Structure 1
């Protein structure tokens, strides 16, 4: 895309957002990655987890796969990884620039957010949690691994305890620091959508708000802003956003995606697509709005 076409599209996007009655945001991993939380960044991984480089693990993405499942043979090292992963991403990482810039773009607009991200960045950037539907879980929460109930537990105290007491040479937490469910005594687990044990009910309460927002938008101008959503879970945001755009009488889809910017051919005339850095695009839209 040449510079003039890019600037014209930025101007169009800013104008569409300014004139919209409703703005629906869909955010995937690409939004956090453009702000620095890139699970494929080997340098970031080496900085955060130097010990794990000895195990021929090179990225956060590889580490997640390596430590995805747990059993008694490696439970202490499993929690050593996840306590540090959660602490770095959910607690130590500040609000990232693309989220802060997006907040400036949308703060005075009627908006709702659906995200597959579990890192809490929207809350850190100042967005109202009442306007966020996060169906995939939250790094800041634990659940019973059975589960024995739909209760979720803030996990910072558990995470801090595991990290403070862990054996860094062996990369293991203490046996007594492994978190247990306070209701039934079984192990705790991450509150992430992994299988049918995922405690989704507290998150899915927001599904009605999401549906209502879309339905209410039918009487006005709707702009859908899709940010860094690929094909890991396209059925949550990517495909529904295309269907909404197709069926809505006055909707435009703004898709920001460096790898997969294309849209269904049936909605090309109702879409604006960008394939450059997401953070730069959001910043340029914000700057255009404030000209």
Structure 2
């Protein structure tokens, strides 16, 4: 059951909020991080950035597509008519975001803040940024998929396949004028020969089992924290999939005897009235906030 009722704003002076956040983090026995798309966006991976899209996809920009979000919508699924163009987009998208982009500053700063603390991470992001920044993959629950993996389109099995070799081949041989990969380069499942696809939670064909192995560790972390001070740090989580992080974090905060929710969000910093006394809402750029916390903490 999720918290409902009147939503309130609880945002005093920014520096006062930073000071409080640092104090809560220092005193915490457990820190649970919930990260959404806003965290990566604050580091430059903004799917609504037309300038970034034009730099990365000049050919598509000429066709009137303006952002990564628009391109994802256009090339969301593949069929026999668009498969070569579908993979032209996704091979480049995955290559840019999963392989070319280095660890972003918000993740690096967050690592500095948390490296000596008992922490766990749940994220809807699929860009691999937490791993790039140095976080232990055993302390990350990422149930939505991974840009670095492919799966059988059917699927015929629950196995996932690292995709770097497929990505490199498609990009190196693609027809840039047509924005289409070569037919022979389209990836096929090594098990059954069917087409492969990106490993993202789209529908009931999503191969989720390998991503769920840390779910019990996430649950255990929350349960174990009941005996100590828990700080929940929510970063850039909106309402695309609120049932994964946003609403559960509110519920945990409500039920936990000694928890504080730090919600950092430019667009949706509000919390329900029921947990306002146990929450710290910061409506500011996530990169700036984490850097300020790091600077004051260290």
Q: Same fold (TM over 0.5)?
A: yes
Q: SS in structure 2 opposite 1:205?
A: helix
**1:228 corresponds to 2:236:** yes
* In structure 2, distance between residues paired with 1:96 and 1:166: 29
Q: Output one character per residue of 1:133-168: Cα deviation in whole Å (capped at 9) or x when no partner.
A: 000000000000000010000000000000000001
| Partner residue of 1:95 out of 103, 122, 145 | 103
* Uncovered stretches (5+) of structure 1, i.e. residues with no partner: none
Query: What is the TM-score with the length of structure 2 in the denominator?
Result: 0.96
| Partner residue of 1:132 out of 121, 140, 143 | 140
Give the superposition deviation at 1:4: 8.3
Give the superposition deviation at 1:63: 0.2
- The aligned counterpart of 1:192 is 200
* In structure 1, distance between residues paired with 2:63 and 2:297: 48
Give the superposition deviation at 1:54: 2.2
Q: Output one character per residue of 1:185-219: Cα deviation in whole Å (capped at 9) or x when no partner.
A: 00000000000000000001111010000000000
* Uncovered stretches (5+) of structure 2, i.e. residues with no partner: 1-8
Correspondences of 1:56-67 after superposition (within 5 Å): 56-67=64-75
- The aligned counterpart of 1:202 is 210
| Partner residue of 1:123 out of 114, 118, 131 | 131
Query: What is the TM-score with the length of structure 1 in the denominator?
Result: 0.98
For the aligned residue pairs, the C-alpha RMSD in angstroms reads 1.1
* In structure 1, distance between residues paired with 2:47 and 2:193: 33
* In structure 2, distance between residues paired with 1:18 and 1:164: 49
Q: How many aligned residue pairs are there? A: 289
* In structure 1, distance between residues paired with 2:234 and 2:146: 20
| Partner residue of 2:255 out of 247, 252, 266 | 247
**1:80 corresponds to 2:78:** no
Q: Output one character per residue of 1:213-242: Cα deviation in whole Å (capped at 9) or x when no partner.
A: 000000000000000000000000000000
- The aligned counterpart of 1:281 is 289
Cα pair distance change 1:62/1:177, threshold 3 Å? same
Q: SS in structure 2 opposite 1:231?
A: coil
- The aligned counterpart of 1:269 is 277
| Partner residue of 1:173 out of 148, 168, 181 | 181
